[in-house]
Amino acid sequence: MIKFSIITVCLNAGNDLLETVESTLKQSYDEFEIIVKDGFSKDESISKLPQDKRIHVVQKKDSGIYDAMNQGIEVAQGDYLIFMNAGDRFYDYEVLGHIANGIKKNPGDLYYGRCYNQILDVVDPAPKKLTKYFCYRSMICHQATIYKASMLKKRGYDVSYTVSADRERMLYAVIKEKVRCTYLPVVVVAFQGGGFCTTDKAKKLLASEKERLTKMYFSVAERLKYGIQHKLTFPTLRKKVLNNKSIVRAYRRFISKIYGN
């Protein structure tokens, strides 16, 4: 049986942590463990967790979210790892079962599905194949990504990145390790959204770290080629248009049809 480690890192996450943990406990597929990596929360969120032998709380100081995730990886006993932020939840009770069946049919190292955006009330699209161009311009929702444990135990998240280590790890997997990436037609997570990554500070960090990643993983010729391709999609106009929730829902649904999701 395939065993999953569901890892949630948190600090004073309140009821969001409980919601995420309970979402996992309700999964019909029960070969999993839940690792709650807590940075010594003071809001009593840890004490509210259910008493269940599948829940393992690790309280340890860390230098940030990616260091905490690496600490979770170290103690994980599952065959495959899924990271769920506090406040996120599995889309339905059958998700882990669908993922396990997908892995059995197509053994590999990295799998990904789709995510439901709670803020926009829409299921985001996902490509059937992770091309280098897709990795240049976008990335898969981290909570909808399933990594083989041995991959992350060998090389975890680069903590020199403040907000983009998950993107860096996927780029490393696709471009450097050249692992087999398999799309699963499963909506994996109901993504809460919001939080630090939506702040102006985070956006500046994201822009800076994306530039660093682009130079590291793409040649000058690729940056020129993909840059031109990206500009032809009118990113600035799309960004303005997509500030309207009704328009963004229609746009995501249109893209989903293109991807065949």
Give me the mean pLDDT over the 137-142 stretch. 92
pLDDT digit string, tens, across residues 184-243: 999 999 998 765 555 677 788 999 999 999 999 999 999 999 999 888 876 666 566 555
Give me the mean pLDDT over the 33-47 stretch. 97
Q: Reply yes or no on whether the pLDDT at 249 is more than 90.
A: no
Question: Which domains are seen in the chain, by residue range?
Answer: 4-259 (3.90.550.10)
Beta strand 4-10 with 80-83 is: parallel
CB atoms within 10 A of CB 103: 19
Please report how many Cα atoms fall inside a 13 Å half-sphere around the Cα of residue 111, on the Cβ side.
26
Residue with tokens 């070969």: 31
Residues 43 and 16: beta-carbon distance below 8 Å: no
pLDDT of 242 = 56
pLDDT of 195 = 59
Confidence band for 10, pLDDT divided at 50, 70 and 90: very high
Q: Smallest Cα–Cα separation from 112: which of 9, 188, 190, 4?
A: 188
Which residue type occupies 211?
Answer: E
pLDDT of 239 = 62
Q: Which residue has the higher pLDDT, 66 or 123?
A: 66
Confidence band for 124, pLDDT divided at 50, 70 and 90: confident
Least confident of 68-72, 124-128, 249-253: 249-253
Burial of 251 (0-12, 13-18, 19+ CB in 10 A): middle
Q: Which residue has the higher pLDDT, 255 or 11?
A: 11
pLDDT of 231 = 83
pLDDT digit string, tens, across residues 44-101: 999 999 999 999 999 999 999 999 999 999 999 999 999 999 999 999 999 999 999 9
pLDDT of 202 = 75
pLDDT of 257 = 65
pLDDT of 241 = 57
